[in-house]
Structure 1
Amino acid sequence: MTKDECFFLGKIVGKFSFKGEVLIKLDTDVPEMYTEMESVLIEYNENLVPFFIERSSLQKSSLLRVKFEDIETEEDAEDLVGAFTYLPLTMLPKLEDDQFYFHEIIGFQAIDTNHGNIGEITSVNDSTAQTLFEIKKDGKEILIPINDKFIEKIDKPNKTIHLSTPEGLIDLYLG
């Protein structure tokens, strides 16, 4: 299984006990959904390796305390600290029609109420304070904040997102 077939679940941020338990900082708004997993994929030596879970429980709000099979000592656990964890895309919960995962909308056409088709969504930048659609049109990049107020409609079958952006925003990029 490759990373393209998976979604990022979280990062192993520390050891929890001398019995080989680790803490995974989950990258989710609903950590409760991930307390009953049987396994995760851990990025180890540039490969995704399945690790089976004996038990897990939430610690604080977004930390998952996990005991993996065959990880018995503090030293074994130390070897996993800093590693990224993944799950297959098939394990993502189904969303409502007006909701989307970032990976789903790559390749969608962005249609603005005032400018018409403003290009193809090539990426989502979530490394800034405001998450952004990265849209390419005629070699130019347009950055649109992902904001519920701007999103009019998501048409998954036709791979389009209809936007109503503030006056002047798109002109900054195309003008």
Structure 2
Amino acid sequence: MATDRVCVGAIGGAFGVRGEVRLKSYCAQPEAIAAYAPLWTEDGKRSFTLRITRSINNGFAARLSGIATKEEADALRGVELFADRSMLPSLPDDEFYHTDLIGLEVFDTCGTKIGTVRAVHNHGAGDILEIFAPGRKTALLLPFTRTVVPTVDLTAGRIIADPPEETE
């Protein structure tokens, strides 16, 4: 997948029998996903325009261009949708797209490498960085707050973190 695209949602399968899909939006304003079309599959081989038809539990029902049957909609279950970065709003200096954080090296405040960001999770209480650290049996999980992560330098490809003592 091209790095100039950002994952903005996923298809949960068919909704009804007329080709609508269940859509989960990862956008800060969930309904904004429709404005970022065309939306692409991860491999970039297919693109869709999108029209939200209604809100449903945990997302939206939506129509995708070229999808007309329940079977076609079900075949897309689990497919993530990506928007061109140029279609997305610019972020303030202290906000980041998760995709920009993944792969950054993480150093402590003394300059010692802690590891590399493998994923960014959010289970409802704020973002958590999952850091892969060679030699550790489990991933290091750090809250993505200014206190714990005072510096994110996308240009240098690094994060400076001040992890609590028990996580080091």
When normalised by structure 1's length, the TM-score is 0.69
Look up the match of 2:21.
Answer: 22
Distance 2:104 2:144 in 1: 17
Residues 114-173 of structure 1: CA deviation (Å, up to 9, x unaligned): x4332452422539898334154xx43572413313122323344332322212432xxx
Look up the match of 2:111.
Answer: 116
The alignment of Structure 1 onto Structure 2 pairs a total of residues equal to: 163
The root-mean-square deviation of aligned C-alpha atoms, in Å, is 3.3
Secondary structure of the residue aligned to 1:36 is: helix
CA contact 2:36–2:84 (8 Å) conserved in 1: no
Look up the match of 2:101.
Answer: 105
Distance 1:91 1:37, change over 3 A: closer
CA contact 1:125–1:133 (8 Å) conserved in 2: yes
When normalised by structure 2's length, the TM-score is 0.71
Distance 2:14 2:135 in 1: 46
Distance 2:49 2:167 in 1: 48
Distance 1:97 1:26 in 2: 23
Distance 1:7 1:164, change over 3 A: same
CA contact 1:108–1:159 (8 Å) conserved in 2: yes
Residues 38-58 of structure 1: CA deviation (Å, up to 9, x unaligned): 322236xx76311233x2245
Distance 1:165 1:7 in 2: 28
Q: What are the ranges of 5 or more consecutive residues in structure 1 without an aligned counterpart? A: 171-175
CA contact 1:98–1:153 (8 Å) conserved in 2: no
Distance 1:135 1:118, change over 3 A: farther
Look up the match of 2:144.
Answer: 147
Look up the match of 1:173.
Answer: none
**Deviation of the 1:105 alpha carbon:** 2.9
**Deviation of the 1:25 alpha carbon:** 1.6
1:126 to 108, 113, 121: 121
Distance 1:13 1:158, change over 3 A: closer
Look up the match of 1:11.
Answer: 10
Distance 1:134 1:51, change over 3 A: same
Identical residues among aligned pairs (%) = 23
Look up the match of 1:80.
Answer: 76
2:161 to 160, 163, 175: 163
The amino acid of 1:153's aligned partner reads: T
Distance 1:128 1:31, change over 3 A: closer
